[in-house]
Amino acid sequence: MKEYFVLFFKGVALGSANVIPGVSGGTIALITGIFERLINAIKSFNIKAIKLLFSGKIKSFTQHTDLYFLIAVFAGVGIAIISLAKLFDFLFTNYPVFIWAYFFGLILASVFFVGKTIDKWPTAVIISLIAGIAAAVLISVMNPATENDGFLYLIICGIVAVCSMILPGLSGSFVLILMGNYQLVMIDAINNMAFDILFPVLIGAVIGLLGFSYLLSWIFKKWRNQTIALLTGFIFGSLGILWPWKEAVYLTGDDGKLLLKNGEAIITNYQRYLPDSINTEVIIAILLMVAGILSIWLMEKTAANNEAG
C-alpha cells in the first residue's frame, strides 16, 4: 500500500503540472522515476491485453498492463486536475508573478536533474540538446490560435495535448494555449463539468496516449541519451514561457482597438521584462523560485530513496 500511496502522490504532481501552462507532466514523471514504467504500461494495452481480458484471465491482464500502477498514478492525475483547476484559476488571476516564479524554479531545477541522467555526451547528444532548446524557444514565441469548440478540433486538441503532456519538457497546457483552447478546456470545461467539451478531448487523449506511447518507448530505448538530451533542451527552452515578469499582448484590430471573444480580450503573446527595483514582490518571487528548486530536489531525493529501498 505504501508504494501505491507514493505513486498516487506522484500522479498528483503529474496532474498538477498538466494544468499549468509551461510545466510538463512528462518532466515530473521523468524526475520522479516513473517515466519509462508509465510509457511501457500504457503501450501494453495491445491485442494481447484484449485477449487476456476477454478470456477472463484478469490476474494475467493486470500483470501484463501494470494496471494497479496505472490506477494509482491516474487517480492522482484526475484528482489533481479537477481540484486544482479552480485554485490555479484564482492564483493566476490574483498572484501571477508568485505562481510563475515557483514554477520557474521548478523547471530550472528539472533541467539539472533530467540532464544529469545522460551518461555520455558525444556530438549527437549535444546536437540533440541544442535542437531541443531551439524547438522549445520557437514554440514559446508562436502566437496562439483563437478558441474553437468544434468536435473534431477538440479531438485533435486531446491528441496533441496528451502527447505533449507525456513528453518531458513540453507542456500540454501550453500547447492548448497555442491551439486557442486552454481556457475552454482546462478551466471552463473542467470547472463546469462541460462533458460536451471534455468528451471529444478525452477521445483524442486516449488515441494519442496509446499511439504516442509506442513511438516514445521505441525512441527512448534505441536512442536513450539523445532523447534525454532533446528533452532536457525542451525543458531549458521552455523557461522563457515561465518567466514571472511579463505582460500580456492582446489582439487588436486595424483601428488599434482590442478584439474581444465572449466579452474577453484575446491574448496573442507575452512581453517579458526585468523588474526595475527590488521590492517585496520581487523578494517573495525569488524565495518562491528557491522553493520550486527545493521541491524538485525533494522529489529527486524521494525517488532515489525509493529505488534504493
From the list 263, 296, 280, 283, the residue with the least C-alpha distance to 188 is 263
Which ranges of the chain does DSSP label H, i.e. alpha helix?
Answer: 2-19, 25-31, 35-43, 47-54, 58-65, 67-94, 96-115, 123-140, 151-166, 172-178, 182, 190-192, 195-222, 224-237, 239-242, 280-308
CA distance 208 to 157: 10
* Domain limits, the chain: 2-308
pLDDT class of 38 with cuts at 50, 70, 90: confident
Q: What would the mean pLDDT of 143-158 be, rounded to a whole number? A: 79
Torsion of CA 53, 47, 14, 309, to 10 degrees: 70
Residue 268 has pLDDT above 70, yes or no: no
Give pTM, 2 decimals: 0.64
Segment 54-72, tens digit of pLDDT = 898 999 999 998 999 999 9
For residue 17, what are the CA distances in angstroms to 77, 102, 261, 296? 9, 12, 27, 12
